[in-house]
Amino acid sequence: MKKKTVAFVLLACLFFTAAFAEDGYRLWLRYDRIPNGQMLAAYRSRIGSVAVLGQSPTLSVAGDELVKGLSGLLGIRQTTGATIGEHSIVIGTIAAPAIGGTGIETRGLGEEGFLIAFRKIAGKQCLIITGNTDKGVLYGSFYFLQQLQQQKNFASIPVASSPKLQLRVLNHWDNMNRSVERGYAGFSLWKWHLLPGYIDQRYIDYARANASIGINGTVVNNVNANALMLTKEYLVKVKALADVFRPYGIRLYLSAKFSAPIEIGRLKTADPLDPEVRDWWKKKIDEIYSYVPDFGGLLVKANSEGQPGPQNYRRTHADGANMLAEALAPHNGIVMWRAFVYSNEVPVDRTKQSYNEFKPFDGQFRNNVLVQVKNGPLDFQPREPFHPLFGAMPKTPLMMEFQLTQEYLGQGTQLVYEAPLMKEVLDADTYAYGKGSTVARVIDGSADRHTLTGIAGVSNIGDDRNWCGHPFAQANWYAYGKLAWDHNRSSEQIADEWIRMTFSNDPSFVGPVKQMMLSSRETMVHYMTPVGLHHIMGDGHHYGPSPWSDKLGRADWNPVYYHKADSLGLGFARNSKGTNALEQYAPEVRKIYEDLSDCPEEYLLWFHHVGWNYRMRSGRTLWNELCFRYYQGVEEVRAMQQLWNQTKSQVDEERFNHVRMLLSVQEKEAVWWRNACLLYFATFSKKPIPTDYAQPEHTLDYYKSLRFQFVPGNGNNGN
Ligand code: GCW
């Protein structure tokens, strides 16, 4: 070949690879051609043009998505129009005469539900995707595409579905300088400095992805809020984002700084009972609605970790929340008031404080306030019991807060599928209204008859090309949306569909990878915090193990506060012999954990201080069990590596290698966690790591000496 030709071929190859590189940007919305010829033929024979009945921005994005999806998946050139032909996919609300006229029934579907069914319209066999509103139609369109992506036949049609929770919201802890608190996927998506002029394609794809899993709200700024977000300069930008999200059924919310009346309103106080302050908020909120007429409302972190709040003025959480709620009510806005509070001055077990502060106010919040409660009473640990407020505030709608970003779950480097964690909490029985009053039934309102319901997920999304940093972290975004829609679905079903759409439908890939995902959370618990240990991570940045930390500004930030290791044993007694945190739960729940001998072992050191020689159910002593679990965790990561290596021929090179390399980092981090924790706890147990285990390659002093200066996701942001 001539030199020129070689160069051309090389260039062409480069272009080809670049154009088809699978970098994860498309998430689970890949729409590649269905490789199964039979399936493809079957679909093609039953799917014709897309007919959109009615006009609205939401209907038009639904139509466009179908066209995009069908041309990719089936390779049929599509355009949207209003003409109905044989095998048309007909989308529109029930109000469209052609759809309503088929006698199809949507009454039970509510505002967001959808129905997909085959019907004849004017003698033509059609597939109808409908609902009571455009949003329902949009959700149905995505659902239908997902069925094709998973190569499902049409046996499940007709299908109807509506969400169990009303507000399905992402919380971005994104700062205005684009750093992300506890974000491990690069910078914030929001390019504030370029808004409103420049609309990044990412905003649109973000909205599509959310709509595809039913997420209908987003709080775009950090709960550690900057008051500037509420100034006109930024509201103009906020409006631009809200305009992008609207057609996708997503409402925009903001985090509000409680001291904003002082900081940007030049008032002397932010006292919620001060008439001037109340008036300021009323006007501010009216102003927000003048930019964003469907603004969702405000999220507030008050009197928590240094954030200002009503208590600065000797007022209560209810005073603070109600002031904002009153100003939002005329616009149908809501307040999401966080219950994540704890105080160093109160000498009470930190896990009891949120309940102590909020329970007395049950019944005192206005009806457009939701109290947003983290899944557990501490702080998004690898495993926590459910938060005792669930079931304890029957007169207040409680909103669940999960953390999708993996602050305590291996951050950006570890493969941890979070659906099992979320399900464990949602399925936990509070017994508050008798047996079967699960946390899920508390938040969906069925247990205590609330009509305003919601759930929040702290986002794991950033500007990394693949959105979430770790290719498998996308699954947590996906699973969150799917569980928010229907908490009855299983972790396994959700993993199954995510794998099929994100990677491959090949059963020899789906099966093993699904198993790896399903066990990944327990694996992390094993090598990080087995048997109920918690909060033993690095100071500040929370990266890696640091069970020895005892010098942080407040007692309850220090790992030693939580594990209470001493010469006798390990663990935090929270039963009636200890802090009695258990008293905050229903008697049936207390009974499960109160006695050391029946306490489920995964919560043992959460609720009990246990002797080193205590006999575990395995027959091992506590010390030997700890060693066993930590070593088991590392072995399980190694098994994940082996499993993944076997998928090489089934995954594109880019994502295969990305996951392979991250699993290798995870293995090193797991070994680090294991060695550091066991060497440290051995100084109390005075027992060796059994000799049949490979011994740590470094000393405890070495692990203690490790310092990490610029770990991602760590404060220093200026908000
Ligand atoms: O988990 C802790 C985090 C803080 C976070 C806080 C909260 C936004 O370490 O970074 O601040 O919780 O939830 O308010």
Q: How confident is the model at residue 324 (pLDDT cuts 50, 70, 90)?
A: very high
Average pLDDT over residues 510-520: 98
719 pLDDT band (50/70/90 cuts)?
very low
Residue 78 has a pLDDT of 76
Higher local confidence (pLDDT), 345 or 29: 29
Atom of ligand 1 nearest to the CA of 224: 8
What is the pLDDT, as a whole number, of residue 357? 96
pLDDT tens, residue by residue, 570-594: 999 999 999 999 999 999 999 999 9
* Across 393-402, 677-686, 706-715, least confident range: 706-715
Residue range(s) occupied by CATH 3.20.20.80 in the chain = 167-494
Task: Assess whether the C-beta atom of 119 lies below 6 angstroms from ligand 1.
Answer: no
The encoded tokens of residue 268 equal: 């002397």
Determine the distance separating the centroid of ligand 1 and the alpha carbon of 182, expressed in angstroms: 8
pLDDT at position 714, please? 85
- pLDDT score recorded for residue 76: 84
* pLDDT value of residue 395: 97
Residue with tokens 């969400």: 163
pLDDT tens for each residue of 622-677: 999 999 999 999 999 999 999 999 999 999 999 999 999 999 999 999 999 999 99
Burial annotation 516-541 (CB, 10 A radius, 16+ → b, else e): bbbbbbbbbbbbbbbbbbbbbbbbeb
pLDDT band for position 18 (cuts 50, 70, 90): very low
- 182 close to ligand 1 (CB < 6 Angstrom): yes
Q: In whole numbers, what is the pLDDT of the chain averaged over residues?
A: 95
Cα distance between residue 321 and residue 319, in whole Å: 6
For residue 438, pLDDT over 50 is answered with yes
- 131-156 mean pLDDT: 96
CA triple 666-670-671, angle to 5 deg: 120
Kindly state the percentage of the chain with pLDDT values over 90. 92
Q: What is the percent of the chain with per-residue pLDDT over 70, rounded to a whole number? A: 96
Q: What is the DSSP string of 560-575?
A: HHHH---SSEES---S
So what's the pLDDT on residue 228? 98
**CATH topology for the 167-494 domain:** TIM Barrel (3.20.20)
List every span in the chain annotated with CATH 3.90.1330.10.
526-572+609-705
Mutate to test the pocket of ligand 1, among 179, 180, 181 (most ligand atoms within 8 A of CB): 181
CATH among 3.40.50.10190, 3.30.420.40, 3.30.379.10, 2.40.30.10 for 22-161: 3.30.379.10
Going by pLDDT thresholds of 50, 70 and 90, the confidence category of residue 224 is: very high
d(CA 317, CA 335): 12
Task: Please report the pLDDT score of residue 13 as a whole number.
Answer: 44
Q: How far apart, in whole angstroms, are the C-alpha atoms of residue 532 and residue 385?
A: 10
Model pLDDT for residues 326-364, shown as the tens digit of each residue: 999 999 999 999 999 987 677 899 999 999 999 999 999
Mutate which of 224, 351, 459 to test ligand 1's pocket (most atoms within 8 Å of Cβ)? 224
pLDDT 10s digits, 289-323: 999 999 999 999 999 999 999 999 999 999 999 99
What is the reported pLDDT for 177?
A: 96
Question: Exposed, middle or buried by CB within 10 Å (0-12, 13-18, 19+), for 233?
Answer: exposed
Average pLDDT in the 111-133 region?
97
Predicted confidence at residue 597, as pLDDT, reads 96
CB 467 within 8 A of CB 24: yes
CB atoms under 10 Å from CB of 320, counted, come to 27
Bridge partners for 338 per DSSP:
372
Q: Cα separation of 538 and 551, whole Å?
A: 12
| 3-12 own/partner pairs: CB under 8 Å, 24+ apart | none
CATH number of 526-572+609-705: 3.90.1330.10
pLDDT for res 647: 98
What is the pLDDT confidence band of residue 81, given thresholds at 50, 70 and 90? confident
**pLDDT for 20 beyond 70:** no
For ligand 1, is residue 224 a contact (CB within 6 Å)?
A: yes
Where in the sequence of the chain do the CATH 3.30.379.10 domains occur?
Answer: 22-161
Q: Is the peptide bond before 196 cis (omega within 30 degrees of 0)?
A: yes
Residue nearest to atom 2 of ligand 1 (CA): 379
Mean pLDDT of 220-228: 98
Active site positions, annotated: 305, 379, 407
> Does the beta carbon of 301 lie inside 6 Å of ligand 1?
yes
